[in-house]
Copies of this chain bind each other. A is one copy, B any other.
């Protein structure tokens, strides 16, 4: 990996970790531009792609935003619980969903490569 790539990744992961809410690519961009005004969207997207590929961050597909991975980075099935009220996200390891997920697609000989599991609802605090 190139040095600069690694630095950018650490940078962006730091931004994500410093936030208690998921951030969109453009929110991250804005944040980075405070210190480096010349950064453009492709830089952010490329770096986020690297981070998600490595499992160091997750993209919340249903809300187009990103969170740092707070689990082991090697979960086979990350489960992201999104609060629709306050916007907070909790991450869980859904590895033991795998047998049932596999059973569902097995008859079709589907070969799974990546699982996306997101739950929308209300977090403990907001539900009460």
Contact = CB atoms under 8 A, between A and B. Distances in A.
Interface in A88-112: 90, 92, 94, 96-97, 100-101, 104-105, 108-112
B81 A110 contact: yes
A10 interface: no
Contacts of A81: 104-105, 108, 110, 112
Interface residues of A, number: 34
Nearest to A102: B119
Given A84-B113, A110-B127, A115-B120, 9 more contacts: A92-B105, A100-B100, A101-B117, A105-B119, A105-B121, A109-B128, A111-B122, A116-B118, A116-B119
